[in-house]
């Protein structure tokens, strides 16, 4: 499959969408991306698994990373792509999350041949599934110098508005135990589900913290996402587990977030099952400031966790900025307004000193 980097960004988005690339099946799209980038003489292309890195090495004092993932969630009867000229919407799996952004990256790689700062483009695999498959995570372990920069832009869908930082997330199992008994003689046992009443009651008393960081208002959340308990229809259950997800603002460390949750559920057995740190917006850094001044418009806090946190962990301030509505990601009816693809391309081209 061939990608034509001289085509416009919308056509290029369609070409990318029409190469199926569900997570763990990214070889075809990575091959196509590598084949399209390799002929460009101003770029050095490096391949790691199904992750492709292309960089200028002009010796500028400043370097910027622009990154996007190549994989999608599973097919849901939503391929091939379909362009609706009347509404200006491009429909199909990956149009929004995030091949519109990938197309902009490839266009920049093609057109910005003499940037006024060094550029690193990263198109990576495995973002939609567990961290162990994430190409950016692999790169941060194997070749962190390829991610090093003064500033990073992740072209995840953000409606073409800059979203800075991201909230952290952790999950705990909060568990009660009891004693089984036949439900016909229930006074001989202890019902673990009944004991979970207090866990849910505490969740109902939770009041969300909304700290303002670098001028952005974050919004925490503490929620049961699963509850399970029960042995049989005639047995008193001896275990109940409430799985709780805590989304925390980036002014808390992972340790502080975990301590908060353990304290909140004091008296219950709490097991940490999953955790990822937040990322401070970093809007006080000169490179970030310059970008925001250049692309203009409002800046929003990012509530969900994204791979920007992987850059922040390496000391690189990072933002989300890409075409598409994040609320449409992972939905069957996923689509992207083609105008947003074009305006994102225009804004980045101008910022990088290319022709607009």
Tell me the C-alpha distance between 16 and 30, whole Å: 10
Report the chain's terminal Cα–Cα distance, integer Å. Answer: 29
Cβ proximity to a second copy: between 5 and 199 the closer is: 199
Among 145, 225, 263, 356, binds a second copy (CB under 8 A): 225
236-295 binders of a second copy (CB under 8 A): 236-237, 240, 242-243, 245, 247, 274
Residue 267 to residues 86, 176, 252, 263, Cα–Cα distance (Å):
59, 10, 23, 9
239 in active site? no
Q: What is the residue-wise DSSP string for 153-197?
A: EE---STTSEEE-B-EEEEEEEEEE-B--BGGGGGGSB-HHHHTH
Q: Which of 26, 34, 71, 220 is catalytic?
A: 71
Sign of CA dihedral 149, 282, 9, 330: positive
Cβ proximity to a second copy: between 49 and 221 the closer is: 221
According to DSSP, the residues that pair with 243 across neighbouring strands are 173, 226
How many Cα atoms are found within 13 Å in the side-chain-facing hemisphere of 314?
Answer: 22
Among 22, 79, 83, 227, binds a second copy (CB under 8 A): 227
Tell me the C-alpha distance between 347 and 354, whole Å: 10
Among 24, 75, 217, 228, binds a second copy (CB under 8 A): 228
127 in active site? yes
- Say whether residue 184 binds a second copy (CB under 8 A): yes
The CB-of-107 to a second copy minimum distance in angstroms stands at 30
Q: Which residues bind a second copy (CB under 8 A)?
A: 167, 169, 171, 182-187, 191, 193-194, 196-197, 200-201, 203-204, 208, 219, 221, 223-237, 240, 242-243, 245, 247, 274, 303-305
Residues designated as active site: 71, 127
């Amino acid at each position: 499959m061939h990608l034509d980097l001289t085509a416009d960004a919308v056509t290029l988005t369609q070409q990318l969408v029409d190469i199926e690339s569900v997570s763990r099946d990214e070889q075809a799209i990575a091959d196509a991306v590598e084949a399209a980038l390799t002929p460009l003489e101003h770029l050095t292309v490096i391949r790691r698994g199904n992750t492709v890195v292309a960089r200028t090495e002009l010796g500028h004092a400043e370097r910027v990373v622009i990154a996007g993932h190549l994989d999608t969630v599973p097919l849901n009867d939503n391929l091939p792509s379909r362009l609706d000229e009347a509404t200006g919407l491009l429909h199909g799996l990956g149009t929004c999350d995030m091949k519109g952004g990938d197309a902009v990256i490839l266009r920049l790689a093609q057109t910005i041949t003499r940037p006024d700062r060094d550029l690193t483009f990263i198109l990576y695999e495995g973002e939609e599934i567990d961290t162990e498959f994430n190409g950016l995570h692999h790169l941060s372990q194997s070749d962190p110098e390829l991610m090093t920069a003064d500033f990073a832009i992740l072209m995840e869908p953000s409606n073409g508005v800059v979203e800075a930082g991201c909230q952290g997330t952790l999950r705990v199992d909060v568990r009660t135990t009891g004693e089984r008994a036949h439900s016909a003689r229930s006074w001989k046992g202890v019902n673990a589900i009944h004991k979970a009443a207090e866990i849910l009651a505490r969740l109902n008393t939770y009041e969300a913290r909304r700290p303002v960081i670098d001028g952005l208002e974050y919004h925490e959340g503490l929620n049961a996402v699963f509850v399970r308990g029960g042995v049989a229809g005639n047995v008193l259950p001896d275990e109940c587990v409430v799985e709780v997800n805590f989304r925390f603002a980036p002014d808390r460390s992972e340790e502080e977030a975990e301590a908060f949750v353990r304290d909140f559920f004091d008296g219950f057995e709490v097991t940490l099952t999953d955790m990822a740190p937040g990322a401070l917006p970093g809007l006080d850094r000169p490179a970030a400031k310059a970008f925001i001044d250049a692309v203009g418009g409002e800046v929003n806090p990012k509530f969900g966790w994204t791979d920007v946190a992987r850059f922040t962990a390496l000391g690189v301030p990072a933002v989300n900025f890409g075409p598409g509505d994040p609320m449409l990601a992972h939905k069957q009816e996923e689509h992207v307004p083609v105008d947003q693809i074009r305006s994102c391309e225009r804004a980045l081209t101008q910022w990088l000193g290319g022709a607009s």
